[in-house]
Amino acid sequence: MIGKIFPKISTRGFYDLKTGKTLKNISYDAYPKTSFEKISQKSEIVIMIHGLRNNKSGALAKYVIAEKRLKTLNYKHDVVGYSYDSNTAGVQYKSTALSALKVGVTIAKKNGKNLSKFIKDLKSKNPSIKIRLMGHSLGAQVILSTIESLAKNSENNGIIESVHLFGASIPANSLSPKIHGNKFQKIVNKKIMNYYSPYDDVLKAAHDEKWVDSPIGYRGALGTTCKKYHQTQVRPQNHRFASYAKTIKSFP
């Protein structure tokens, strides 16, 4: 893998790591440009969205893991990374972890507009391309906000082929028709797949400390969900994406 420049969509430096304040009002950077010219001609791509506490190199490691795992499962299409400001200030210290998490969630929510713009731009270049989203941990919040943004216009119905969530930190009732389920049902063409784990210590802590209102990645969805939603219980070694990736048995 060394020497390969991984194609990525980036909003790094667009948001303040201490406050979540918007610093740049541009939608995204995509590079290398030549890769994206080729990618926009493809029949299908996967966009991998990392979680909290990832700087540029941490984020890159997640895309490589996703690509390798999907290749093992005979998935032949390109994986593209989505890199955003998730390495919020103070996330590694107990005293500031909660405020850093809140800033991370704010930034993840704001990124919904950025990612939805990329998806719409890509579809306008190549209307037949299938776009699949994979999100780990806080990456699920980026996906949720992307769906909310896309759902504002019925022209975007079915624009995303599938969504795969791993150790997702969004609330357990998110896929209920009354909350966001109806939006997912419209925007996602085929299926929403949630890999959850009651053994995930990070999500257990978030649940016990009430940092997240019962994460959907911890015990699965609460109540009724939209019809395209499916979930599978897995037992990864820990909360890291590398551990969840090993639990994927087939894709998409």
What number of other Cβ atoms are within 10 A of residue 214's Cβ?
16
ω into 32 cis (within 30 of 0): yes
Query: What does pLDDT average to over the chain?
Result: 95
Whether residue 146 is contained in a domain is answered as: yes
- Percentage above 70 pLDDT, the chain: 98
166 within some domain: yes
Residues 118 and 66: their CA atoms lie apart, in Å, by 20
Is the pLDDT at 131 greater than 60? The verdict is: yes
* Statement: residue 2 has pLDDT above 60: no
The answer to whether residue 100 is domain-embedded is yes
Which residues are bridge partners to 162 per DSSP?
132, 191
- Cα dihedral: 134, 159, 106, 63 (round 10): 30
Q: Is 116 helix (H, G, I), strand (E, B) or coil?
A: helix
Average pLDDT over residues 7-30: 97
CATH value at residue 71: 3.40.50.1820
Q: Domain range for residue 242?
A: 8-246
Q: Which pLDDT score is estimated for 127?
A: 96
**Contacts (Cβ under 8 Å, ≥6 apart) of 25:** none
| Neighbour-count burial of 48, counting CB atoms closer than 10 A to its CB (0-12 exposed, 13-18 middle, 19+ buried) | buried
| 67 falls within a domain | yes
Among residues 138, 135, 79, the alpha carbon closest in space to that of 110 is found at: 138
Domain for residue 3, yes or no?
no
In a domain? residue 190: yes
Could you read off the pLDDT of 47-90 as tens digits, one per residue?
999 999 999 999 999 999 999 999 999 999 999 999 999 999 88
251 lies in a domain? no
The angle at the Cα of 170, spanning 169 to 175, to the nearest 5 degrees, equals 140
Give the pLDDT confidence score for residue 1 in this predicted structure.
42
Count of domains observed in the chain: 1
* pTM for the model: 0.96
DSSP state of 177: I
Q: Flag whether 177 is in a domain.
A: yes
